[in-house]
Amino acid sequence: MVIEPRCGPLRAGLVARADQGEALRVRQHRIPAIIAVALAVACGASSSSPAPRPALPTRPTADQQASADRLLTGPDWYRNAVFYEVNVRSFQDSNGDGIGDLAGLVQRLDYLKELGVDALWLMPIYPTAFKDSGYDIADYRSINAEYGDMAAFEKLVAEAHARKMRVFMDLVLNHTSDKHAWFQESRSSKTNPKADWYVWSDTASRADIGSCTSGTPAVFGPSWSLDPMRGQYFFHRYYPEQPDLNYRNADVVRETLDVARFWLKDENVDGYRCDVIGQLFESPDGCTMIPETVAYIQKLRAVLDEMPEKAMASEPSNLNDSTAYFGNGSNMFHMSFEFGFGYFWGLAFSATDKKLIEDSIKKTMTYPKGSQPGQLIGSHDGVRAWQAAAAETWRYRSGALLSMTMRGTPFIYYGEEVGLRPGTQVVVDSRDSARTPMTWTRGAAHGFTTGTPWLAFGEAPDDTSVEAEDSDPESMLTYYRQLLAFRRGHAVWGVGDMRAVSLDSAQIVAFVREDASERYFVAVNMTDEDQTGSATDPLAGSATAVFGDGELAISGGSVHVTLPARGAAVFQIR
């Protein structure tokens, strides 16, 4: 859009706000509706200057929703779903004890449904000593009393299902809590029935474990600890309060597969996010995804396949390659997280270099047919997306746009949609900075609790509250709603083909998404300067920007993209 001279002051004001870090755009639809109307009135819409596009809808159309309903039915539902990772403890407290709970989550299901969430992944909600935020499970078959009881859980599942939302549990099989009855028995002597359920040794090593250590020694420390009761060392990939189960014991294999069957079959859960599942077996030749672990995962998959429409997602230990987790595309994981993007997108923006992101795009396209990446920009293990984006709203939004337009299933980390900022209080470990309570309202306790929250809120809790963002056309929440509404009901985003377009600019990430009925070109400028890029490319047709700002020219076997500073665009090709 060409700004008329008499619109100069208005334009200057908008640009000034944009320079202050707000993602306002003079061009196209990121202008709030009210300002767009003011511009049109003040500046006059003429034939030479097309009227600014109206703000993008924050709700899908009825047709989109009907299409989404079809795509979310049947065994492939998870490919077309949007997941939401819930830290139950920090989401909504219902009884004033300052701890989020299952009844609180039920109260917020309508909010999630309206946002466009189709499935929940609950961080561990089992009894725990909370040495690793619940990833130290003391009983696989019941619910942490702080969060509710089995009846409360069943109510949650029923309420979610009534809203056509599915529920994933966190399945943490590599280790238990040292408070688990199995470990208590195992440590009691060298001859008890469960003596061999964990990995014991007279020294802080064992030949068959080789040199395997914890995933992150800097966080979890040494991986052998002496148990004074049994007078032997036990192996743990994580904290000493998380002893590793011994999967070379057939009873452990049988019992853990039964645990998986229990929640799926008896409790009607829809699937699992599987914690560090590549680390079940160790050997001197390898520490992750060795053949014995692969065989176990295939058995686990067989348990899921006993029932219709169950699915599971793996947390891969190899951050840049999930190939080993997909098997032949249908005998291991339905989904695996694409950490090559999810953990490193912020670094790519800081370095203003698309390579890390392009590598991830290329890698996902090498996975076996049937594989489904899980896309994310934040989780309970990383920093808040706000930090990954170096507190730049435009980077945050571009990261989110990428995660929701690259091939795969998006996983939103709770509070990401309002731009939750890091906290400073530590209860368990430094990762608590990204596990702070959700901010629903302005003011004390932010609608999270009527009591004292178990962990202090992150920065700027008023500004990042749902209340503050709800009707603000420039808020992160509005952006997320627009993005989710934009992609809703279009199968191409979940399962369409993807290919990277290697533009002659290291600062623009670009790729094509297509299926039998639609084709899109996505381009993201990683810098705060205008950028252009060209490539020889077989793309044909004409391009229309349908989300974001920019221009795309397609002619005779080449493409030429122009993006404004901090801009990103999705073009539809017809």
Q: Which residues are catalytic?
A: 275, 315
Q: Which two tokens stand for residue 551?
A: 């221009």
Q: How far is the CB of 124 from ligand NOJ (least distance, A)?
A: 8
Token pair 């900022």 is found at 421
Residue 381 binding ligand NOJ, by CB under 6 A: yes
Between 124 and 489, whose beta carbon lies closer to ligand NOJ? 124
What proportions of the chain, in percent to the nearest 5, are helix, strand and coil? 35, 20, 50
Report the site for ligand NOJ in 238-277 (rule: CB under 6 A): 238, 275-276
Q: How far is the CB of 429 from ligand NOJ (least distance, A)?
A: 8
Between 276 and 404, whose beta carbon lies closer to ligand NOJ? 276
Compute how many residues bind ligand NOJ; rule: CB under 6 A.
9
What are the residues binding Ca ion (CB under 5 A)? 93, 95, 97, 99, 101
Note whether 325 and 289 are within 8 A (CB). yes
Q: How far is the CB of 168 from ligand NOJ (least distance, A)?
A: 14
- Report long-range pairs for 191-198 (Cβ below 8 Å, ≥24 apart): 194/251, 196/246, 196/249, 197/245, 197/246, 197/249, 197/251, 197/252, 198/234, 198/235, 198/243, 198/244, 198/245, 198/246
Q: How far is the CB of 94 from Ca ion (least distance, A)?
A: 6
Figure out which of the listed residues 7, 68, 112, 172 binds ligand NOJ, where binding follows CB under 6 A. Answer: 172
Report the site for ligand NOJ in 308-367 (rule: CB under 6 A): 315
What residues does 46 pair with on adjacent strands?
49
The Cα–Cα gap between 194 and 211 comes to: 25
Between 185 and 381, whose beta carbon lies closer to ligand NOJ? 381
The Cα–Cα gap between 269 and 304 comes to: 11
Report the site for ligand NOJ in 503-562 (rule: CB under 6 A): none
Token pair 């076996």 is found at 368
CA atoms within 13 A on the CB side of 472: 16
**Which residues 6+ apart lie within 8 Å of 410 measured at CB?**
82, 83, 374, 375, 376, 403, 404
Partner touching 135 among ligand NOJ, Ca ion, none, CB below 5 to 8 Å by kind? ligand NOJ
Between 153 and 571, whose beta carbon lies closer to Ca ion? 153
Note whether 122 and 137 are within 8 A (CB). no
Q: How far is CA 176 from the centre of its chain?
A: 24
Q: Is 124 helix (H, G, I), strand (E, B) or coil?
A: coil
Note whether 421 and 459 are within 8 A (CB). yes
Q: How far is CA 331 from the centre of its chain?
A: 23
Between 362 and 431, whose beta carbon lies closer to ligand NOJ? 431
Figure out which of the listed residues 76, 85, 118, 132 binds ligand NOJ, where binding follows CB under 6 A. Answer: 132
The Cα–Cα gap between 90 and 99 comes to: 7
Partner touching 241 among ligand NOJ, Ca ion, none, CB below 5 to 8 Å by kind? none
Strands (E), 333-474: 335-337, 372-375, 409-413
Q: Which two tokens stand for residue 109?
A: 């299901």
Report the site for ligand NOJ in 206-245 (rule: CB under 6 A): 238
Q: How far is the CB of 220 from ligand NOJ (least distance, A)?
A: 8
Question: DSSP character for 141?
Answer: T
Between 95 and 350, whose beta carbon lies closer to Ca ion? 95
Output the furthest CA–CA distance in the chain (Å, rounded): 88
Q: How far is the CB of 540 from ligand NOJ (least distance, A)?
A: 44
Between 97 and 321, whose beta carbon lies closer to Ca ion? 97
Question: DSSP character for 102?
Answer: H
Q: How far is the CB of 162 from Ca ion (least distance, A)?
A: 23
Between 315 and 416, whose beta carbon lies closer to ligand NOJ? 315
- Report the C-alpha dihedral over residues 383, 389, 394, 397, rounded to 10 degrees: -40
Token pair 């039915």 is found at 73
Residue 417 binding ligand NOJ, by CB under 6 A: no
Between 106 and 172, whose beta carbon lies closer to ligand NOJ? 172
Note whether 409 and 82 are within 8 A (CB). yes
Partner touching 132 among Ca ion, ligand NOJ, none, CB below 5 to 8 Å by kind? ligand NOJ
Query: Could you list the residues that contact ligand NOJ (CB under 6 A)?
Result: 132, 135, 172, 238, 275-276, 315, 380-381
